[in-house]
Structure 1
Amino acid sequence: MSKVFASPAAALDGLLFDGMTIMSGGFGLSGNPESLIPEIRASGVSGLTVISNNAGAEGFGLWMLLQSRQIRKMISSYVGENKLFEAQYLSGDLELELNPQGTLAERIRAGGAGIAAFYTRTGVGTVVAEGKPTEMFEGEEYVRETWLRADLAIVKAWKADTAGNLLFRKTARNFNPDMATAGKVTVAEVEEIVPEGAIDPDYVHTPGIYVDRVVLSTINEKRIEQRTVRQREPA
């Protein structure tokens, strides 16, 4: 049975509701679900908890949902240059659960693997560990972190077949593969859809068993959040 939907709006039909938790792939602006995020905005759904490394950049990505005040809480690891993210948090309009980046990735991976909790040295003795159980292992203190799961995971891949097997390209293979495993429903937007079996199994990054719906991207801008250049030195 094909998992391919005709449009980003169709791929999200019946999945969105107020107060839900959404995982959104991407690192900076690389691997953002560029076509699905605008449809979430257009739906008007509100009170969202969004799990993502960051929240896009001005005018792009999850910034759009911050600007429309649809996000109630962010679970992320980086505020960065997103001035809207910063302003809403500092004004108290946005709840923020800030995670060390590796911890965030592992919490998502644990959610997909069915591991309810794990221990890590990262954050011990800092605000990150406040209110969390700790335990000693081999003379070192570890803090307990819990899994992250979501009602919906939205990811962006380079290629998919009609069975939902995904292939990511370069830096778009960031949080996307782990998030695809940790959503009750996973929707993948992709740049190319090929027939089932056209992707060599050895090259599949996310098996189709984790992916419920696939849609062809309508936006592929692939913006760069920051670009630093220098003058070429004379030979």
Structure 2
Amino acid sequence: MDKTYGSAADAVADIPDGATLAVGGFGLSGVPVTTIRALLERGVSGLEVVSNNCGVDGWGLGELLAAGRIRRVIASYIGENKEFARQYLGGEVEVELTPQGTLAERLRAGGVGIPAFFTATGAGTAVSDGGMPNRYAPDGSVAEESAPKELRPFDVFGSVREYVLETAIRTDFGLVRAAVGDRHGNLRFEKSTRNFNPLAGMAGRVTIAEVDQLVEPGVLGPDDIHLPGIYVDRVIALTPEQSADLPIEKVTVRPRSEGA
């Protein structure tokens, strides 16, 4: 039951080229950057990544993106990453844009064995009608666009409206970052890092968790566990230096008042 690995390099040693990855994090919060860097060092390429966004320039998934290791991204947000936008508009990477809540539910559905679900989000828009550019050609024209999705009317609380069918997401690997984890893989996330991390962990067939603090089984109470160990296969204990690598996305300051 001891799921700990000696290093991130050992934990990612069997991730092949072309693997699909569900990656936790939101902006710079809760990003499994040590595991991402181990993948970068290993040299795998042709990756398909499912994440809320694709990191920022020079950090997180942005490091894999800048190295040309990512082939396709399923995400809800492109902003804050100029390289991501450049590669998308230049036809170097394929992007499937998905509403944020829908993306979260697609990951959760994959983790609990629900193959598809209907949602009102995106019904009657390009999300359901198709035509969103998944890939651009180098000349700026659309090389591949999204296909239409099934719509079905439902009577919900006396109001009939259309809902769009969305399919679940299941990936080869899940990469997550937790504040505390035990040797059985039970995880607790800190505040806003509990965003896409539990969902990415559920969606991966093999999930790798890097943790700021490793504790023994039984230390985490049942109510403190945000992702149970049944979903987690490998645990990496971060060093203090690795845990402290938490850049600020946007620094905002104000002038000091007189005499401060």
TM-score (norm 2): 0.86
Take 1:148 and 1:232, find their aligned partners in 2: how far apart are those partners?
49
Q: CA deviation at 1:230?
A: 4.6
Residue correspondence of structure 1 range 99-118 to structure 2 within 5 A:
99-118=98-117
Please tell me the residue identity of whatever aligns with 2:150: P
Aligned residues, how many?
233
Larger radius of gyration: 2
Relative to structure 1, is the Cα distance of residues 215 and 228 closer, same or farther in structure 2, using a 3 angstrom cutoff? same
What is the match of residue 39 of structure 2? 40
Alignment-mate amino acid for residue 135 of structure 1: R
Query: Using the alignment, how far apart are the partners of 1:50 and 1:205 within structure 2?
Result: 23
User: How far did residue 192 of structure 1 move?
Assistant: 0.7
Identify the residue that residue 223 of structure 1 maps to in structure 2: 247
Cα drift, residue 203 of structure 1: 0.8
- Deviation per CA, 1:48-86, whole angstroms, max 9, x where unpaired? 110000011111000011111010000000011100000
Corresponding residue of 2:151? 134
Please state if 1:154 is matched with 2:171: no
Task: Using the TM superposition, give the Cα deviation of residue 176 of structure 1 relative to its aligned residue in structure 2, in angstroms.
Answer: 0.3
Q: Distance in 2 between matches of 1:107 and 1:204?
A: 22
Residue 19 (str. 1) matches residue 18 (str. 2)? yes
Task: Structure 1: state its 5+ residue gaps.
Answer: none
Residues 1:66 and 2:83 are matched in the alignment = no
Quote the residue 1:169 is aligned against.
190
Q: Answer whether contact 1:25 1:31 (CA < 8 A) is retained.
A: yes
SS in 2 for 1:65: helix
Contact 1:57-1:63 at 8 Å conserved across structures: yes
Distance 1:216 1:187 in 2: 11
Change (3 A) 1:156 1:233: same
In 2, Cα distance between the equivalents of 1:224 and 1:176?
19
Task: Provide the rounded CA distance (Å) in 2 between the counterparts of 1:224 and 1:63.
Answer: 15
The residue number in structure 2 matching 1:125 is 124
SS of 2:68's equivalent? coil
Name structure 2 gaps, 5 residues minimum: 131-147
Contact 1:30 1:223 in 2 (8 A): no
Moved more, 82-91 or 5-14: 5-14
Q: Distance in 2 between matches of 1:149 and 1:82?
A: 25
How far the C-alpha of 1:227 sits from its partner, in A, is 3.3
TM-score, structure 1 normalization: 0.95
Give the Cα separation in 2 of the matches to 1:202 and 1:106: 22
**CA distances 1:156-214 after superposition (whole Å, capped 9, x unpaired):** 00011111110111111110011111111000000010111111112111111110000
Partner of 1:91: 90
What whole-Å deviation, never above 9, does each CA across 1:130-170 have from its counterpart, x for those lacking one?
21001001220111000011000000000111111101111
Could you say what secondary structure the match of 2:33 adopts? Answer: coil
Q: CA RMSD in A?
A: 1.4
- RCO greater where, 1 or 2, for CA within 8 Å and sep 6 or more? 1
CA contact 1:5–1:215 (8 Å) conserved in 2: yes
Q: Is the 8 A contact 1:20 1:47 kept in 2?
A: yes
- Cα distance in 1 for partners of 2:25, 2:37 equals 15
2:92 maps to a residue whose letter is D
CA distance in 1, matches of 2:68, 2:85: 14
Identity %: 52
Measure how far apart 1:127 and its partner are.
1.4
1:232 deviates by 7.8
Q: CA–CA distance in 2 between the matches of 1:135 and 1:192?
A: 47
Partners in 2 of 1:172 and 1:153 — Cα distance? 15
Shift of 1:9: 0.5
